[in-house]
Each structure stands twice: as C-alpha cells, then as structure tokens.
Structure 1
C-alpha cells in the first residue's frame, strides 16, 4: 500500500512538473470569432473562355501584391512599448470619543426578622475617559517600461473575407546553436495597406497577435523549475 501511495505521489509530481504553470502567459492564435463566422469572398467568378485572347490568369499590368488564398505577404514587425506611470496615495483618519460622568440611582430593600429595610443611593457617578485614535497611510510608486521588437516574417492569406479584407497567419522557426526561436503572427489586413513591394507594417494589422518564444538550454536555465512554480502556487506570498 505504501509503495502504491509513493508511486502515485511521484506520478502526480511528475505530471505537475510537465504541465504549464497556471500563471505562465500564453497567447492563442485562434482567429477571432467574426473571422470564423464571416463567409469567404467568391474569387472564382471568372469563367474560362477557350480560344479567347484573355484568360483568367494574372493580368499583364497587375501588381504582385497578395490577394488570393495561399498568397504570401511579408510583414515588417516594428513594435515598441513605452510606458510611464506614477501613483501616490495618502490617508489620514482621526477619531475622538469624548468621556463624561454617568449618574445612576440605586434603590431596593429587604425583610429581616419581619422588618423591612430600604436602601436608596442617589448620585453614583462613573467617569468614562475620552479616547483618541489616529491612523496614517502614505504610499507611492513609479513604473517605467521601454521595449522594442523588430523582425520580418512572411505570412499566408488564410481567408479572404466577404468585405475584401484578408486574414493572414505566419510562423517562422529558427534553430541556432541549440536554441529554437519561434515567431508567430496572425491578424486581419486591408488590401490597400499592402505596399507595392508586397510588404505591410504590423501597425496596420487588426486584431494582431504576435508571439515570440524560445526553446533550449538558455530558456531552461533562466526560468523557474517545476518545484519552484509548484511552491509559489501553493504559497503565493
């Protein structure tokens, strides 16, 4: 029985160690709901004309910008986050309870040996002292953040929406010196925002999702191990 318990505990710890920490940030590359619900644009409305001088192929004078499903477009990612915030709070609270004299009258009686004895006392005073309390709190904080991420990635048109916009998705994996780098991007772009050289800046992508992650020894050595994550989840303070 003890052996089974030990094996169960070890298996549970191993499962927790392999699982993602609940506080690890993640990003889902699933298309937005409106992209999934919006019908695709019918792009196959050009009929074939056998023997005609004009075909349904690419126009002689058309540009080379992506416009059909599975066409590719180069995305220039230039994301910069600059943030500065400052907050302060001050709290003062004071309470005063005044004391005073409390007067009371006590009366009563008793029968002893068939005789009645009465007791009366007036003017018993109880003096309550005054009480004062003061509470003060003061705190302040400042935060500054400056991050910049630049790269290029080629994405593919996954869906041409009914309004003519494109839903694109792209991924790139690099393996350099034992380290694996993964870049993913998705979002909705307008055809007119694509430059003549078939590139688009990431700032023109609606509902943009950009993910950059690494795998390898450096990542393993620079993040908390599974036991530290488990302990911080159990004892958050």
Structure 2
C-alpha cells in the first residue's frame, strides 16, 4: 500500500522552504551587490536611539532622605579636591579593561553492574502437584516451573576541557543613571583589517565607586555584563556553513 502525504503535512514544509528561499535570496542579493568591496563600518549612533534599546529597570533600595550640609568645598566620593575626573554623567566616557583567562576541566566516570537470578517451583502443594501433568505435558517438573536470570552492565566516561583567553580594552559611554546612583554603560568598537571587521560590544551596570582614578574599570566589576566579540567579512563567511546546509540541518528529520 502506498501512503501519500496530505496537503496539511506539506503546507508547513512548503512554507518553511519558501521563507528560507526568500531570506536566502535577500542575503544573496546583498552579498552579490558587495562583491569586490570591503565591509563597511557602521555609522556612529546614539545607543539610546537604537531599535532594540531598552532602559534598564532593576530593584532599587528605599530613597535615603539625608540632611545636606552646606558651606563645604569637598564632595563625598570625589577623588580630586577640585574636580572628579571619573565618568558620572550621561554621555561621559570610561575605559573598560577585559582580561578573561578561564580554564575548566571536568572528567566523570560511571560504572554499574548487576546480576540477578530467580527460580520458582511447587514441589508440594496439598498433594495437588501430582495433578500438574494432567494440565501440562508430562515432561514438566513441578519443582522447577519458572526460572529467570538477568545481567546489566553500564560503563560511561565523559570529559570536558575548555580554555578561553581575551585581552581587550574598549571605551564605553554612560547611557543611564539609575535611582541608586549606579551607571548603565554601553560600548561598541569596530576594527577593519584586510576586508575583515572585528566587532566588540559591551553593556552592563557599574558602581561609580569601582571606577579608578584613571577613569577605568575591570570587566568583573560589571553587573549583568554582556560582552560580545566576533567578526564579519570574507573569512567569517567561509567559516560558516552554507545556507542550504543550515536549512537541511533544521528540517531534516534524521
């Protein structure tokens, strides 16, 4: 008997194929238009006006209504008697130092073994054991009616080894001051070398107290840190699977 797929089953597949073809056609047209050209750098824009930008909303402590004292030339938290050179207002710039040197090694080994044996018989049961042959063949021994045995063995090994090392510096801009005084920073850096663009993006929340007198801060002091480092260009495109292979990896059932 031959089974034919119904229109309902074909509809999702056809829709997915059409969407993939449309997206690939747009991407292919853009790539064909840029053949022979080096990747263009993005224009400098206000991060707060980006389409995906959303102001950060975090739990805030109660407002401290402290009494202010006048007639003082010194400001609390200032590193300089006359002026604090650290970033503290929206639009100020500070330098973020990224020095990641992580290494993780994990190894697991599991072994399990089990042997079991069960047997059951009816040597004597109110004298009825002699009547078993009337129901079962004569070769059946009532003393060994059921016998079962089982063996189970499991052996598993696993190992993980990961090492990451990144040494970078990026200038970030203060985009928001939260009610408790913490600063929301966001930075982006692009470098083009021989037709390949390397892009570094950073975002997070910092405390003004963690900014050094040189107006720098280390990445491990950034809360909710989002750090992205990658590239785009001819070399990055060669390292990616072709769009046809990506579509097959998604829709292939086996």
TM-score normalised by length of structure 1? 0.68
Unaligned runs of 5+ in 1: 20-27, 39-58, 105-120
SS of equivalent to 2:85: coil
Please name the residue that 2:118 is paired with: 97
CA 195–123 in structure 1, closer or farther in 2 if over 3 Å, else same = closer
Structure 1 residue 97: Cα displacement: 2.5
Aligned pair count?
188
Is the 8 Å Cα contact of residues 20 and 247 (structure 2) preserved in structure 1?
Answer: no
Q: Distance in 1 between matches of 2:228 and 2:186?
A: 12
Q: Distance in 1 between matches of 2:238 and 2:15?
A: 28
| Structure 1 residues 71-82: aligned runs within 5 Å | 71-82=92-103
| Structure 1 residues 1-237: aligned runs within 5 Å | 11-15=18-22, 17=24, 32-34=56-58, 61-101=82-122, 122-124=131-133, 126-127=140-141, 128-235=145-252
Please name the residue that 1:53 is paired with: none
CA 60–149 in structure 1, closer or farther in 2 if over 3 Å, else same = same
CA 222–236 in structure 1, closer or farther in 2 if over 3 Å, else same = farther
Q: Computing the radius of gyration over CA atoms, which structure comes out larger, 1 or 2?
A: 1
Name whichever structure is richer in strand by fraction: 1
Unaligned runs of 5+ in 2: 1-10, 27-51, 62-79
Q: Distance in 1 between matches of 2:185 and 2:86?
A: 14
Is the 8 Å Cα contact of residues 16 and 226 (structure 1) preserved in structure 2?
Answer: no
Q: Distance in 1 between matches of 2:53 and 2:116?
A: 56
SS of equivalent to 1:98: strand
Moved over 4 A (4+): 7-10, 16-19, 28-32, 101-104
TM-score normalised by length of structure 2? 0.63
Q: Which has the higher contact order (CA 8 A, sep 6+)?
A: 1
CA 215–66 in structure 1, closer or farther in 2 if over 3 Å, else same = same
CA 8–97 in structure 1, closer or farther in 2 if over 3 Å, else same = closer
Is the 8 Å Cα contact of residues 99 and 130 (structure 1) preserved in structure 2?
Answer: yes
CA 102–215 in structure 1, closer or farther in 2 if over 3 Å, else same = farther
SS of equivalent to 1:151: strand
Structure 1 residue 60: Cα displacement: 7.5
Structure 1 residue 33: Cα displacement: 3.8
Alignment deviations for residues 142-190 of structure 1 (CA, whole Å, 9 cap, x no partner): 1111111111110000111111111100111112111111111011111
Name whichever structure is richer in helix by fraction: 2
